[in-house]
Amino acid sequence: MTVLGVLLLCACGSGPASPDEPATGPTDDPTTHGSEDGLLADTRGDDTFFLDTASVHVAESDPVQLFLEVSGHAPTPCHRVAYTVSTESADNGTDEIKVVLTTVATDGMCAQVLQPHQFTVPLGTADLPVTVRVGDDEFVKTIRS
């Protein structure tokens, strides 16, 4: 039983078997990710990201810059978090920033446990007021001046 557990854990984070084969599973090497924090920017995955909390931080700058602080879980340690950010004009005349959080599975075997994640998504500059929507309205916040 112990050997099976060790093999399962090793398979999840294993590197390439040969120099010609790409690495699979999670890694701390930032060159294999979409960014240094492992997020895949401007990417939509096929799997769910389970949002626990979100908050918007406003940088004291001109123009105003917004950042979304996120805490949640990926389905397994072998899933990478992906996000897209889009800005639209709402019916009431204010701008809306929509954030979609998903995950992308890597190849190979992986332990079936939720993987916690905390990260920051840059939302860019905005004219206030602006409404930030995450997912299917899992988090909605209007930022006013």
pLDDT tens per residue, range 21-57: 333 433 333 333 345 568 999 999 999 999 999 999 9
**Helix ranges (DSSP H) in the chain:** 2-12
Predicted pLDDT at 86: 96
Kindly indicate the confidence band of residue 17, based on its pLDDT and cuts at 50, 70 and 90: very low
Tokens encoding 92 = 């009431």
Can you give the pTM of this predicted structure? 0.73
Does the structure show a pLDDT above 60 at 75? Answer: yes
> What Rg, from alpha-carbon coordinates, does the chain have?
18
Of the candidates 37, 123, 117, the one whose C-alpha atom is nearest the C-alpha of residue 71 is 117
Q: Please give the Cα distance from 78 to 121 (Å, whole number).
A: 20
Q: Please give the Cα distance from 46 to 101 (Å, whole number).
A: 10
What is the mean predicted confidence (pLDDT) over 67-75?
Answer: 97
Predicted pLDDT at 36: 53
